[in-house]
Amino acid sequence: MSITATELIQHPSPNCGSRRDGLRPTLIVLHYTAMQGAHAALERLSDPQAEVSAHYLIAGDGRVWHMVDEADRAWHAGVGSWRGQDDINSRSIGIELDNAGTHPFAEPQMAALEALLPGLMARWSIPAGNVIAHSDMAPERKFDPGARFDWRRLARLGLSIWPDVPSDPGARDFDTLCAAFGYPPEAGPEARLKAFRDRFRPGVTGPVNAVDLECLAALVDGGAVLVA
């Protein structure tokens, strides 16, 4: 079920502008707020002095605030890149989730996100593989939405991707596979490994292993959804 305009709480933020060079959204970037509640985040995302914003903010109880018009450039992503492209703010829609990154995301919040995403993806022709984490495009700076976010749940609904049965990486090493998937090549290998594991192998630690390579290869070679 998609969320309707009447279910959105309109709370315009002044922290926005035009997308540069005529760009349209091709990505959706998910964040956590890391603040003391949704109202604190709402205040900050609306404060001109903070110079940050997002298109949408979703509270733990499922309320959704619409803060920046989708056609406009919100200030949510900062410096980073994905698949060799920078100025992610001009290329994306940003969604902030009220969570500190230390606990699971609430069921009403996940349900609201699942209701919001299909409309965004349809309106802007954004494929499931282009719904990414803030940490994906800036792995050395950002950690959100973190290891407690349920990416597999989104993938089951066709709203993101998850590696299917592991693929043979062949002669490809970790750096090669990371670059092919989309992680910024200038980010250090430890930062990229953390970003990858937080999203696809939460809780796993230690050096890069064969399963990491197999999962990355599956994403690079198709990113099929695992529904089991």
Is 96 an annotated catalytic residue?
yes
Q: Which of 43, 70, 96, 190 is catalytic?
A: 96
Q: How far is CA 101 from CA 95, 107, 158, 218, 227, in A?
A: 15, 15, 24, 27, 25
* Widest distance between CA atoms in the chain: 52
SS3 track for the chain:
CCCCHHHCEECCCCCEECCHHHCCCCEEEEEECCCCCHHHHHHHHCCCCCCCCCCEEECCCCCEEECCCCCCEECCCCCCCECCECCHHHHEEEEEECCCCCCCCCHHHHHHHHHHHHHHHHHHCCCHHHEEEHHHHCCCCCCCCCCCCCHHHHHHCCCCCCCCCCCCCCCCCHHHHHHHHCCCCCCCHHHHHHHHHHHHCCCCCCCCCHHHHHHHHHHHCCCCCCCC
Are residues 121 and 81 in contact, defined by beta-carbon separation less than 8 angstroms? no
Residues annotated catalytic, as ranges: 96
